């Protein structure tokens, strides 16, 4: 039995960096004028007053002059360096400055750069704020006084079952088929029969910003988008998988989903209407899967001949974990490719319930069991 599981930035940024690099780039210093060497000293760099004259290797018997030698006194180079015109923004080259003209470079002032970007950012924020208010207004139209009273203590606005039903109908969805899951995924619903204001606004805002900018914060536009998503389910396997996974989110209680809820969800998702029927040429896999689960985990009511009620009710002895839920989709896809279950082996890490289902299918004759002769031929 298998084991259970558990470079540089954009052009705008490059230009911005280049601007600052040019503004703070130091100019090369001009060499200072040379003074004629004195008899008592050799030539030195007069640009730095910290350098003193070196003694003449053939000193004259006359004592050196007591006055300071001009070679070590000039301060002009240092003054020239300090007084040199400092670059401003935008940078003007020395030649252009001398001619009173402007540099040919098309540098933008940093203040203008930030002002332009702050302006664009501010406009986007205003647009986002306006869109949020419009989405909140749509939500408020469906919220009733009963909803407000129910959520008064928590302070988190949410549409209850009746209000959620009215919203589903308004966007062309039904609580009886997969379109329910389409809406739940969009509005980030965490349970069936409740739509929070936060999830509603965030969900539709993400649709507009990331998926479909053509969707306006209007009820009619939301309905068109929901209808488009419903058609997408049958042709987009990635979106179908996303929808399948979100079904566990809205269907679970605590960390697991009740088996009766899981069976209802599987019936909704493995449906020919949406192009994902769990059925092959010879085997109706969904039917056999649910039959197996019922035989193994369902306890019928005490009096099967009487209608079920609180005192006469059947029960399930098993819940569905997130791992089992997700692996059921993987297993289903495998069976659609190979209805003989040749892909399965005891060494693979399928959930134990899947291993038992394979054995059940072979015992019930749902799939053929290989004989020893067939196994020897395969080897």
What are the 10-residue block averages of pLDDT along the chain, 379 residues in total?
A: 39 35 39 46 40 46 50 49 52 52 53 56 84 96 95 89 97 95 98 96 94 87 96 96 98 95 97 95 97 96 85 91 98 97 93 96 89 47
Partners of residue 284 on adjacent β-strands: 279
pLDDT of residue 48: 43
pLDDT of residue 100: 53
Q: What is the pLDDT of residue 152?
A: 80
pLDDT at 14: 38
pLDDT value at residue 154? 82
Long-range contacts of 215-222 (CB under 8 A, 24+ apart): 217/131, 217/134, 217/135, 217/138, 218/134, 218/138, 219/138, 219/170, 219/171, 222/138, 222/171
Rounded to the nearest 5°, which phi and psi values hold at 242?
A: -60, -40
List the Cα angle 30/31/34 in 5-degree steps: 145
Domains of the chain: 124-251 (1.10.238.10), 256-379 (no CATH)
């Amino acid at each position: 039995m298998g084991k259970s599981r558990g470079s540089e930035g954009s052009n705008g940024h490059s230009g911005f960096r280049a601007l600052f690099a040019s503004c703070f780039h130091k100019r090369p210093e001009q060499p200072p004028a040379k003074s004629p060497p004195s008899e008592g000293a050799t030539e030195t760099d007069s640009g730095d007053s910290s350098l003193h004259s070196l003694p003449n290797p053939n000193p004259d018997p006359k004592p050196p002059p007591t006055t300071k030698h001009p070679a070590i006194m000039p301060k002009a180079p240092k003054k020239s360096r300090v007084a040199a015109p400092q670059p401003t923004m935008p940078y003007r080259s020395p030649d252009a400055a001398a001619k009173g003209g402007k540099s040919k470079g098309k540098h933008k002032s940093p203040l203008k750069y930030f002002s332009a970007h702050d302006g664009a950012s501010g406009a986007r924020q205003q647009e986002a704020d306006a869109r949020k208010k419009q989405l909140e207004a749509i939500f408020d139209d469906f919220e009733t006084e009963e909803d407000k009273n129910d959520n008064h203590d928590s302070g988190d606005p949410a549409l209850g079952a009746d209000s959620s039903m009215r919203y589903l109908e308004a966007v062309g969805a039904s609580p009886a088929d997969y379109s329910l899951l389409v809406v739940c995924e969009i509005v980030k619903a965490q349970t069936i029969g409740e739509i929070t204001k936060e999830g509603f606004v965030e969900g539709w805002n993400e649709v507009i910003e990331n998926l479909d900018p053509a969707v306006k914060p209007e009820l009619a536009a939301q309905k068109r988008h929901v209808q488009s998503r419903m058609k997408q389910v049958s042709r987009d396997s990635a979106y179908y998988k996303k929808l399948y996974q979100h079904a566990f989110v809205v269907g679970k209680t605590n960390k697991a989903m009740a088996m009766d809820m899981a069976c209802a969800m599987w019936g909704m998702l493995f449906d020919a209407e949406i192009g994902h029927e769990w059925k092959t040429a010879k085997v109706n896999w969904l039917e056999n899967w649910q039959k197996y689960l019922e035989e193994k985990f369902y306890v019928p009511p005490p009096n099967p001949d009487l209608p079920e009620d609180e005192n006469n009710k059947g029960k399930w002895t098993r819940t569905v974990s997130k791992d089992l839920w997700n692996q059921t989709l993987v297993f289903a896809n495998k069976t659609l490719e190979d209805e003989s279950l040749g892909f399965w082996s005891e060494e693979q890490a399928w959930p134990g319930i899947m291993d038992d289902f394979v054995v059940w299918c072979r015992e019930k004759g749902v799939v053929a069991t290989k004989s020893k002769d067939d196994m020897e031929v395969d080897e």
